[in-house]
Homo-oligomer: A and B are copies of this chain.
Amino acid sequence: MHTLWDERFALRTDKIGSSAIRELLKLTSLPDVISFAGGLPAPEVFPIEKFKEASDVVLTEMGESALQYGTTEGYQPLREMIARNASKYGVQISADNVLITSGSQQALDLLGRIFINRGDRVLVESPTYLGAIQAWNAYGVKYVTIPFDEDGMRTDLLESRLRTGLKFIYVLPNFQNPTGSTLSRERRKQLVEISDNYGVPIVEDDPYGQLRYEGEHLPPVVCLDDEMRAKEVPVYSGNVIYTSTFSKILAPGLRLAWVVAPSEVILKLVQAKQGCDLHTSTFTQYLAYEVANSPWMKSHIHLIRKTYSERRDVMIQSLREYMPEGVRWTEPKGGLFLWLTLPESMNSNDLFKPAVEAKVAFVPGGPFHPLGGGENTMRLNFSNSKPELIREGIKRLAKVIKDNM
């Protein structure tokens, strides 16, 4: 039906079409479909009882402030807790370096809003996180891509990219979404040093850093950057903006994430956030603080690691058992996803429909490549399905692949 609004959409809306993936995801919620398509945590590990206790404490003891307007920067005790935890991981920051956001997606959007002029170039891994592509497309970004291998971003190719002039580098160092790859310690150092030499700063997106199932914890890029600088005060003033989230360690329904940045960047982010949503829910921030600021949190993260590493193992075991010759996959040391590569001649888009008919779903890999390519790849999520369903789902998927080879 025609309304006066029809012809009035802004030019930028051409760039912010619905993610093809989210449309696909709707199909995957059909009954009986075993879905490896989403990026959902396992609801079985949501600490529901802890949230009940926390709701009761927050509403009984602090109800009036927990339900009132709050500051744009975020709930001060939560910011301080994040600063304390970051300091434990090796980067000295204060609450002034922390902004609470309405999920990581908002962190990405606000970074686009304060940094990206139309036509600005941003370096991303290819493939990279879809949410970042969607957020920054709205600001007219141009992507420059860098390939990855099992050790993450190919830092040996970095200098050729940096010479082309970039606003910033976007990196997901741990168990990258979508590939599951982790940037090696050596490459992290190279990344920090080369980007500093060329004067190009880094956005480090780390939603899964605490979800490592094997091997040694690697220092975040922001820590390596901080180590290069001599400072007297525990305030971060380096070249890296770091973002992480409570979605994977508590619950995504809270929509709570955070940004760590030099304080002048935090100030700009706060100004931008005021115009976007004033502030993030006070109530969910109080809840998250109540639940996360407890020694219990350590055991909870152990439970998540145990649950997901078992699921990852089952998926990899099933892939080995059922997949035909010519199909390869990553074996991530953490996170929620692995990445499957079909023979060059195949296109995962063509498999989507037969797969859903066979009651199994995945995400085709193409859209994760901002400059195209990757049609023979797909992302598989192992966190959201129970082990017995993972086995059955991989069996179904292998059959679909074989039938279409």
Q: Pick the contact of A113 from B12, B241, B262, B274 — CB < 8 Å? A: B12
Q: Tell me if A210 counts as interface (CB < 8 A to partner B).
A: no
Produce 1/0 per residue, A264-289, CB < 8 A to B. Answer: 11011011101111111111100000
Counting chain A residues whose Cβ lies within 8 A of the other chain, the interface size class is 35 or more
**How far apart sit A262 and B6, CA to CA, in the bound complex (Å)?**
10
Report the separation of the CA atoms of residues A360 and B271 in the bound assembly, to the nearest whole angstrom: 26
Chain B nearest Cβ from A40, distance in angstroms? 6
User: Which of A49-57, A83-91, A331-339 is near enough to bind chain B?
Assistant: A49-57
CA distance A137 to B271 in the complex (A): 12
Q: Which of A51, A281, A284 has the most CB of B within 10 A?
A: A281
**Do residues B278 and A281 form an inter-chain contact, with CB atoms below 8 A?**
no
> Given A43-B67, A117-B11: A102 and B251 within 8 A (CB)?
no
Knowing A5-B241, A51-B59 are in contact, say whether A275-B10 is a contact too (CB < 8 A). no
Select which of B8, B63, B278, B279 is within 8 A of A51 by beta carbon: B63
Q: Which residues of A contact B (CB under 8 A)?
A: 1-6, 8-13, 16-19, 22, 38-41, 43-44, 46, 48, 51-52, 55-56, 59-60, 63-70, 72, 102-103, 105-106, 109, 113-117, 120, 131, 134-135, 137-139, 167-168, 196, 199-201, 235, 237-239, 241, 247, 251-255, 261-262, 264-265, 267-268, 270-272, 274-284
